[in-house]
Amino acid sequence: MRSEWNGARRGPSAPEGYWLRFCHGFKVVSARGRVGIVEDVLYGADRERPSALAVRGGLFGTRVEIVPVEEVAHIVPRSKLLSLRAEWVRAA
């Protein structure tokens, strides 16, 4: 099963909403390579839909980056893989 999502906001019952809520441990990649592993799912004012993902990465896993869910391009649940949009650039 491959869920393709373009970051557009949809209702919380959409399949990608489910996988965004339960993507702890998914590997995160971008066009530049491996970003890290989803450590936590963060919520803003809307408690039904995640607003960002805390992604742990770096050489020794010491860096945590906050990635807005709008930057998610594809979710592949079977492979536990989440890919970011091509335009996404790691924070300096």
Domain with 25 in it: what CATH number? 2.30.30.240
Q: In terms of pTM, does the model score above 0.75?
A: yes
* Residue 31 forms part of a structural domain: yes
Q: Is the pLDDT of residue 10 over 50?
A: no
Task: Say how many domains are in the chain.
Answer: 1
Read off the pLDDT of residues 33-85 as tens digits, 9 standing for 90 and up: 899 999 999 999 888 889 999 999 988 889 999 999 999 999 999 999 999 98
Read off the pLDDT of residues 18-45 as tens digits, 9 standing for 90 and up: 899 999 999 999 988 899 999 999 999 8
Position 61, amino acid: G
* Residue 48 forms part of a structural domain: yes
Distance CA 91, CA 14 (A): 29
* Residue 9 forms part of a structural domain: yes
* Residue 89 forms part of a structural domain: no
- CA contacts within 13 A on the Cβ side of 20: 32
* Residue 78 forms part of a structural domain: yes
Is 61 strand, coil or helix? coil
User: Domain limits at 11?
Assistant: 3-84
* Residue 52 forms part of a structural domain: yes
